[in-house]
Amino acid sequence: MKNNSNKKNNSGFTLAELMIALIIIGITAAIVSPNFLGLLNRIKVDNSLEQLLGAIRETQRQAM
């Protein structure tokens, strides 16, 4: 007969595995965040430019 009392339950994660996953997530976030912030700034500039061009077109239309 087998003795099942010495059998370990291997479900779950170890602390080392969780730390490695958190480090990988942190590195990925550090790489991606500047690109994302640059994209947001570019969108804001494009929207402002569109508003300015719309105002210029409206002024030209009213001047005619």
Position 57 confidence tier, pLDDT thresholds 50, 70, 90: very high
Q: What is the DSSP letter of 12?
A: S
More confident residue, 8 or 59: 59
The answer to the question of residue 12 being in a domain is: no
- The predicted model scores a pTM of 0.53
Domain-located, residue 46: yes
Query: Does residue 60 lie in a domain region?
Result: yes
The tens digit of pLDDT for each residue in 16-42 reads: 999 999 999 999 999 998 888 899 999
Number of domains into which the chain is organized = 1
Q: Is residue 57 part of a domain?
A: yes
CA separation (Å) from 57 to 5, 20, 48, 60?
82, 56, 14, 5
* Per-residue pLDDT band at 64 (split at 50, 70, 90): confident
Give residues with Cβ within 8 angstroms of 56, minimum separation 6.
Answer: none
Domain residue limits at 60: 34-64
Structural domain includes residue 16: no
Supply the pLDDT for residue 7.
62
